[in-house]
């Protein structure tokens, strides 16, 4: 089973990249799942805030706050990544490729690389500035990877067409 972990700041193109990887493998007849470390945080937003799941209405501050609460008060900093590692063990039985579309912390990437020999990809948004409030921009999940240097690939997202081309080239290289 192949595991990809995609990292980047808000609006960098992580989900778009994950969908391109999925498309590539599905064209080859492979079974693929896209998952997120933040899926449990989003579940809380659905249940507690009645969030509709849309990007335009994403309660980013709430998601950041509940993530921090889980990592540093309620449980420990490994709680969310440990849950995902458990999930991947289940996916392993059913799919050929797992794509984790939202790594934000070094520990998340390191754990997935160690546990599954995951291919780590950083996406850098080069075509627009994603609007975040100042307090959201400085949150750990937006800045923790600024100096992280253990990515297998770094892709500059300039346009959607170029991103797709770059992702396909990357996957072809990984497959060699």
| Domain ranges within the chain, ordered by starting residue | 2-175
Mean pLDDT for all residues in the chain? 92
Helix (H, G, I), strand (E, B) or coil at 128: coil
| Residue 127: pLDDT over 80 | no
The residues that bridge with 156 in the sheet, in sequence order, are: 124
Element (H or E) spanning 85, and its range? helix 79-91
Q: Dump pLDDT digits (tens) for 50-63.
A: 999 998 899 989 99
Which tokens is 152 given?
């297998």
Using one digit for the tens of pLDDT, what is the confidence trace for 16-58? 999 999 999 999 999 999 999 999 999 999 999 999 999 889 9
How buried is residue 114: exposed, middle or buried, by Cβ count under 10 Å (0-12/13-18/19+)?
exposed
Question: Which one has a higher pLDDT value, 128 or 104?
Answer: 104
3-state secondary structure of 69: helix
More confident residue, 142 or 115: 115
CATH placement of domain 2-175: 3.40.50.300
- 132 versus 168: which is more confidently predicted? 168
């Amino acid at each position: 089973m192949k595991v990809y972990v995609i990292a980047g700041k808000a609006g960098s193109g992580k989900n778009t990249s994950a969908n391109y990887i999925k498309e590539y493998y599905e064209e080859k007849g492979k079974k693929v799942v896209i998952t997120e470390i933040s899926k449990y945080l989003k579940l809380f937003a659905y249940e507690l805030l009645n969030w509709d799941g849309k990007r335009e209405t994403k309660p980013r501050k709430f998601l950041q706050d509940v993530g921090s609460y889980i990592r540093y008060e309620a449980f420990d900093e490994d709680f969310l990544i440990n849950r995902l590692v458990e999930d991947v063990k289940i996916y392993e039985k059913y799919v050929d490729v797992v794509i984790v579309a939202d790594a934000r912390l070094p520990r998340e990437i390191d754990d997935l690389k160690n546990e599954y020999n995951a291919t780590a990809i950083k996406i850098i948004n080069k075509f627009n500035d994603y609007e975040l409030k100042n307090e959201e921009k400085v949150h750990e999940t937006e800045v923790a990877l600024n100096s992280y240097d253990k990515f297998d690939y770094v892709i500059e997202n300039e346009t959607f067409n170029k991103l797709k081309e770059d992702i396909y080239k990357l996957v072809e290289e990984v497959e060699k």
